[in-house]
Amino acid sequence: MAVDSPFWRRACEKLVGEEDSGKRLLSLWRLYATMDLLFLARGPQVALTFYVSDFVVGLAAVTATFLLAERFDGIGPWTKPQVLFLLGYAVLVRGLINIFFSYNLAFISRRIGRGQLDHVLIQPQPLWMVLLTEGFAPVTGSGMFVPGLGLLVWAASQLNLEVPPTWYLLLAVDLVASIAVVLAFEYIVGSLAFWAPRAAEEINSSSWRLITQLAPFPLEGLSTWALGSLLTVVPVGLVAWYPARVLLGVGTTLWENAVLPAVAVVLVTVAFWIFSRGLRHYGRTGSTRYLDYGHRR
Amino acid sequence: MGPTRARTRETHQARLHWTRSIPPMQPLRLGGYIKTAAMSAGDVGDSPLFVFDYALRLLRVLVLLALWRTILGGRDSTGPMSLAAVLSYTVVAEVFAEQLAVQTTLSLAFWEGTLVIRFLRPMGMVRQLASEMAGKWLIGLSLFSVPLLLVTPLLGVDPRPSSVVAGGLFILSLALAILVGLALDLFFGALTVALEQPMWLIEYTRTAVATLLSGSLLPLAYYPWGLGDVFSWLPFAAMAWAPLAIYTGTGQPLRLLIGQVLWVAVLWPVADWMWRSNREKLVGYGG
């Protein structure tokens, strides 16, 4: 069967959408980036407030661990520079989510619970494309990205890492996988809002708080069952601790490099399944909470 | 009528008008506030998924306990606190998490534009907010805090205060901490309005800073470079570090209590002034 046959074309379209999906994605990212810039251009007060707020929140999230590492010259088997690397990784993951999944796309329970999913569904593009592009905020969302990247690079220089080029590939894969894990967890939990819009509207705030508060801590001291839970059911350990261990080679073997991407794929599949079921339910019931003047019942 | 008599009459009328414009002193009707608290507690039925939130809080305690055991376990010297005291500190901080990081329904009222309803009630604004908050606390205390205290021995932690006196002073300190927290909540609410910023922006920043500076996550005694000593003078420390340090016998109770009283005395007039100065702008927030 020829590669350019209608069968293959249809199969490819099923997999990645229409032929010009890539162009459309770039075009939408450019559009949302421009809108984000215009939002910031409203005045220095807005810009300053967003930046300072993001910076302070990001800083505060990792400072506790940093202070402990400084006080005790490391935490458990982690040396001080290794802890810094872990913190840099954790902030970078959070910063990237802020950049690509802003405007409550990482807090999907809010959109579902408030009936705002309708705003997404009426757009003349696939749902996945909206979810990938609408939250793009490269300017207002970069308050944590820059310090996170800086911390990671600085910690790596302190560690005098001599790494092969494939290490950078592993870093990129792990970053994407960690982001996928966080989002999958948020979507699995947030999908509850399809069935309980009012009760679960803010449930992603709780799950996000848990992830961001616990991600910067080394988890070595936990019992086996607790650690197992934090790597599967509530995958806090996969956000920064596990990938940092793998990247720094702290008590890990080569095959463990594949664990994070594999678990990420599983979690994304579960999230997709639950979200699809919720969406089907939403298709039948719709939202009773949306009011045209913006407030909720 | 001569000019002097006319002036006297005007002055009298002005005084009368001034007197009438002062709202008469209302007796404090506790019943209304208790009812408000009860109604607020009843809101728990609106969101039965609060159990999920409790599970996450429990998980956080477990991780923090494991972290402290990893750090301090097997060390000759555990620094300013014993391992047992740090573990108690961590558990009690979670048991009283809502009281040590006071948050009224003010932000929610901004968000939902329902503050106007509270203005219309013949009740004090701050007292209403405090009543609503207390109602929610009842649920948290009975469904999470008490059960957590009960299972604490299973986690290998002794939750008792360092002494009976410490336990008594902790209650006093906790009350002062709540007063400090209430004043700060009102202050930041007024600040949100004054700066005309999104309420979540101020709230996230405040929560992040308070978690770090108050010592609710990590005891200030373990902060390096003398940072803990500096932070202990800030109002945030009066919210969490002071009562927890008294409970675990880490700090000097008298100094900590005096610090809390001072912050109460300073913050309440400031918060009250900020609120009165900015509440007229609330219309922009739906009030």
pLDDT 10s digits, A113-133: 888 888 888 888 888 999 999
Our separate counts of H helices and E strands in chain A read 14, 0
Nearest CA in chain B to A230: B59
Q: Do A67 and B211 touch (CB under 8 A)?
A: no
- What's the rounded mean pLDDT across residues A133-142? 87
- First-to-last CA distance in chain A? 56
Alpha-carbon gap, residue A1 to A8, rounded angstroms = 9
Higher-pLDDT residue of B102 and A39 is B102
Which two tokens mark A110?
């809010």
Distance set, CA B237 to CA A55, B133, B146, B245 (Å): 22, 21, 24, 10
Nearest CA in chain A to B223: A67
Which residue carries 């979540």 as its tokens?
A: B200
Measured in angstroms, the CA of A76 and the nearest CA of chain B are apart by 6
* Lowest model confidence (mean pLDDT) among A50-59, A156-165, B146-155: A50-59
Q: Helix crossing, B164-195 with B199-214: angle to 10°? A: 150
pLDDT 10s digits, A278-291: 999 988 888 777 66
Measured in angstroms, the CA of A126 and the nearest CA of chain B are apart by 30
Q: What is the pLDDT of residue A177?
A: 95
* Cβ-contact A210, B59 below 8 angstroms: yes
Q: Which residues of B touch A220 (CB under 8 A)?
A: 70
Prediction pTM value: 0.81
Name the residue type at position A109: S
| Cβ neighbour number for residue B179 with a 10 Å cutoff | 21
Nearest CA in chain B to A213: B60
β-sheet bridge partners, residue A290: A296
Q: What is the pLDDT of residue A290?
A: 64
Q: Do A61 and B204 touch (CB under 8 A)?
A: no
Q: What is the pLDDT of residue B287?
A: 38
Which residue carries 């350019």 as its tokens?
A: A4
- Long-range contacts: B143-147, Cβ < 8 Å, 24+? B143/B50, B143/B54, B144/B54, B144/B57, B145/B95, B145/B96
Q: What is the pLDDT of residue A23?
A: 87
Q: Do B208 and A56 touch (CB under 8 A)?
A: yes
Q: Which residues of A touch B60 (CB under 8 A)?
A: 210, 213-214
Handedness of CA B123, B125, B126, B131 (dihedral sign): positive
pLDDT 10s digits, B17-58: 555 555 555 566 778 888 888 888 777 666 666 777 888 888
* Cβ-contact B70, A65 below 8 angstroms: no
Rg (CA), chain B: 23
Q: Do A199 and B47 touch (CB under 8 A)?
A: yes
Q: What angle do CA A83, A227, B215 make, to 5 degrees?
A: 55
Which of A131, A106, A136, A86 lies closest to A239 in space, CA to CA? Answer: A86
